Amino acid sequence: MTETRVERMNHEIASTLRDEELKRLRTSSYADLLNYIDKPLSKLLNGPDGEKYQIETQVFWDTKKGGNIRVMVSVDDGGWTSIKPSSGDFIISPAGSFI
């Protein structure tokens, strides 16, 4: 019988990476974020533990086109944790204020 090695994502590191990405994105203007509507972005980062973390960013209309937009960031290890990643989001209005 073959032993299966199960990777376990470090949720503390994933949460820190998520929060850093959200903080970075919050410095973007509403107009800049509009460029990413319905264009998911994905990148791999090496965490401080030497493991790879996948960061996905999605930007979409919160309720209606031309209104508030929601920015969501999810972090996982590219494996089974992609089913339930560490996620966070924020909403920004056309005036640039956070909801």
Residue 29 has a CB neighbour count (10 Å cut-off) of 9
Per the model's pLDDT, the better-predicted residue between 19 and 83 turns out to be: 19
The pTM of this model reads 0.87
Q: Write out the two tokens for 21.
A: 């990405």
Per the model's pLDDT, the better-predicted residue between 78 and 71 turns out to be: 71
The answer to whether residue 99 is domain-embedded is no
pLDDT exceeds cutoff 50 at 53 = yes
The answer to whether residue 30 is domain-embedded is yes
**Which domain CATH number covers 51?**
3.30.1300
Helix (H, G, I), strand (E, B) or coil at 23: helix
The answer to whether residue 27 is domain-embedded is yes
Kindly indicate the confidence band of residue 12, based on its pLDDT and cuts at 50, 70 and 90: very high
The residue to which tokens 């509507």 are assigned = 37
Specify the pLDDT at position 5. Answer: 44
Residue 99 Cα distances to 50, 69, 92, 93, 94, angstroms: 35, 10, 6, 7, 11
